[in-house]
């Protein structure tokens, strides 16, 4: 049998990978550092750069990758900020409310 009857299909090389958005990488890294080294600052930077990366990726019309990294940075940043807000409420606001509620009772103790 000859090879000319059944020629091998020509395989095209795979397309080169899309470059990743730098803002998406920054968002993911600062989202992680927002949970470890720089709690509030890292989280705030992760949220800002995450939104910037999503916008940049959307404007590139498919030529940039990194949407998942930007989303992960946003999630990490928002969760860290929410946790920080809850901690602030528990350790600052609630004791002040408790003190405000207890002041009338403390004033009544002095009258006896």
Residue with tokens 């207890």: 102
Distance between CA 73 and CA 85 in Å, rounded?
A: 18
Q: Residues 52, 23: contact at Cβ < 8 Å?
A: yes
Q: Hey, is 8 helix, strand or coil?
A: coil
Distance between CA 28 and CA 78 in Å, rounded?
A: 12
For 53-110, what is each residue's pLDDT tens digit? Answer: 999 999 999 899 999 999 999 999 999 999 999 998 888 888 888 777 777 766 666 6
């Amino acid at each position: 049998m000859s090879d000319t009857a059944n020629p091998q299909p020509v395989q095209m090389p795979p397309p080169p990978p899309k470059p990743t958005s730098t803002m998406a990488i920054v968002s993911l890294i600062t989202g992680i550092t927002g949970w470890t080294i720089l709690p509030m600052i890292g989280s705030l930077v992760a949220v800002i750069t995450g939104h910037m990366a999503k916008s940049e990726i959307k404007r590139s019309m498919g030529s940039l990758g990194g949407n998942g990294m930007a989303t992960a940075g946003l999630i990490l940043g928002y969760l860290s900020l929410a946790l920080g807000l809850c901690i602030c409420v528990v350790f600052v606001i609630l004791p002040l409310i408790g003190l405000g509620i207890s002041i009338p009772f403390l004033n009544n103790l002095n009258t006896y």
